[in-house]
Copies of this chain bind each other. A is one copy, B any other.
Amino acid sequence: MDIAEVAKHTGVPASTLRYYEKQGLIASVGRQGIRRRFAPGVLDQLALISLGQAAGLSLDEIRSMLLPNGQPSIDRQMLADKADEIDALIKRLRAVSRGLRHAAACPAPSHAECPSFQKLLKAAASGALEKRWRRPGLKLPYK
């Protein structure tokens, strides 16, 4: 497959594919003239990369889960750890969501007088809420 074909099948832009190759995340199987040729297996690798990103992994981390041949060699413990991380994130997000909803429904004339909003503010001020996550996330299937 040439790069356009891979891009079409995966939705990953050609520029990104070249970038991934440079980063050692995927590999082309030789060239036809000047053009890269990819084995069909690259589609699976790209799926794996997408999954890793959805799970909140950096490209560096994802690379560390790939054998030199591109096959995944994934530590099950790492998967479980990542799941734990995501669960913790979910917990925090639910707290924020609940707080926001409460504040949205709060009948106080201004948020300055809404106790639940104040509570949220206090939590935020205390540093209990994270300001920035390490990284990207996911789009998801089952909507």
Query: Would B100 and A128 count as touching, CB distance under 8 A?
Result: no
In-complex Cβ contact of A79 among B46, B90, B103 (8 A): B103
Query: Would B51 and A121 count as touching, CB distance under 8 A?
Result: yes
Residues from 82 to 104 in A contacting B, C-beta threshold 8 Å: 82-83, 86-98, 100-101, 103-104
Q: Report copies per complex.
A: 2
Min C-beta distance of A88 to chain B, whole Å: 7
Is residue A47 within 8 Å, beta carbon to beta carbon, of the partner chain?
A: yes
Determine chain A's interface SS by DSSP, over half rule. Answer: helix
Number of interface residues of A (CB under 8 A): 66
Is residue A130 within 8 Å, beta carbon to beta carbon, of the partner chain?
A: yes
Q: A47-B124, A54-B124, A124-B47 are in contact. Are A138 and B92 (CB under 8 A)?
A: yes
Query: Would A131 and B123 count as touching, CB distance under 8 A?
Result: no
Is residue A40 within 8 Å, beta carbon to beta carbon, of the partner chain?
A: no
Q: Which residues of A contact B (CB under 8 A)?
A: 10-11, 43-44, 46-48, 50-51, 53-55, 71-72, 74, 76-77, 79-80, 82-83, 86-98, 100-101, 103-106, 110-112, 120-133, 135-143
